[in-house]
Amino acid sequence: MNTQIQQQLKKMKLLGMLRAFTTSFETPEISSLTSDEMIAFLVQSEWDDRQNRQLERQVKNARFRYNASLEQIIYDEDRNLDKNQLMRYAQCDFIAAKENLFITGSTGIGKSYIASSLGHQACTKGYKVLYVNTDKLMSRLKMAKAEGNYMKEIAKIERQDLLILDDFGIQPLDGHSRSYLMEIIEDRHGKRSTIITSQVPVKLWHEIIGEKTIADAILDRIVHNAHRLELTGESMRKRTSKKKANEN
């Protein structure tokens, strides 16, 4: 009978319940559970298994640059990074409120890592997240436009609860990129959240976007409801290199 039950659970794809049921043969404590407790144990095991698999899919689909965690972030005083403030962002209330977050600072300061860690946190809370390098996204959209897949790509971006645009402003936007960015921001305005990381201060984004009318329209939609993290201090890459050198 046990073999038949295991086969049925497998066919119904109740994999968490199957593992728990199989484990129950090897764990004396489980065999002493009442019928109600055993059912609760099996159901909870299936629930946990599905939640874990969903989280794995969310993280995989997000395509994060780093496998980042909040626990690994360094809060040295010279970084201008307040732990309490970052923990509040990690609650993802800004995503629920459809607000944006800007993370700015010099190269290597840790902007992408912090954005990735917040993205991972959003995944754990069930939000759909997409992480993209801004220049690469624009190149992909240009290719999609040429191949007739542009609307499909735009629709995918629009569905994300959190879009992370990394390395914004590395180079000025051309006419096509301005148009694509405008459409993305317009689709998400008041509906979804966006994290933007940039080496360029927010006050100079107008010049990066170019074309005054479009720049005004884009910034008007993202700046006024945005939180800001303005990082300072030495490059984390340089700091890590120094630490390794000292250890050697």
Q: What is the pLDDT of residues 20-57, one digit of tens each?
A: 878 777 777 776 777 788 888 888 888 888 878 888 88
175 vs 240, residue with greater confidence: 175
Cβ atoms of 195 and 163 closer than 8 Å: yes
Cβ atoms of 203 and 102 closer than 8 Å: no
pLDDT band at residue 239 under the 50/70/90 scheme: low
Cβ atoms of 108 and 233 closer than 8 Å: no
Q: What is the pLDDT of residue 83?
A: 92
Closest of 49, 58, 202, 166 to residue 122, by C-alpha:
58
In a domain, 220, yes or no: yes
| Mean pLDDT score across all residues of the chain | 88
Residue 241 pLDDT > 80: no
Closest of 21, 15, 12 to residue 42, by C-alpha:
21
Q: Are residues 28 and 86 in the same domain?
A: no
Q: Are residues 144 and 42 in the same domain?
A: no
In a domain, 248, yes or no: no
Residue 245 pLDDT > 70: no
Backbone angles phi, psi at 100, to 5 degrees: -110, 165
Q: What mean pLDDT do residues 233-238 have? A: 72
Backbone angles phi, psi at 34, to 5 degrees: -75, 170
Q: Are residues 50 and 128 in the same domain?
A: no
Q: What is the pLDDT of residue 37?
A: 80
Cα distances from 244 to residues 24, 235, 237, 247, 248, in angstroms, run 48, 14, 11, 5, 6
Q: What mean pLDDT do residues 161-189 have? A: 95
Q: Are residues 184 and 234 in the same domain?
A: yes
pLDDT band at residue 243 under the 50/70/90 scheme: low
Q: Are residues 152 and 56 in the same domain?
A: no
Q: What is the pLDDT of residues 140-168, one digit of tens each?
A: 999 999 999 999 999 999 999 999 999 99
In a domain, 169, yes or no: yes
Q: What is the pLDDT of residue 50?
A: 83
CATH number, domain of 189, equals 3.40.50.300
pLDDT band at residue 205 under the 50/70/90 scheme: very high
Query: How many angstroms separate the CA atoms of 141 and 147, rounded?
Result: 10
Residue 1 pLDDT > 70: no
Residue 93 pLDDT > 60: yes
Residue 68 pLDDT > 60: yes
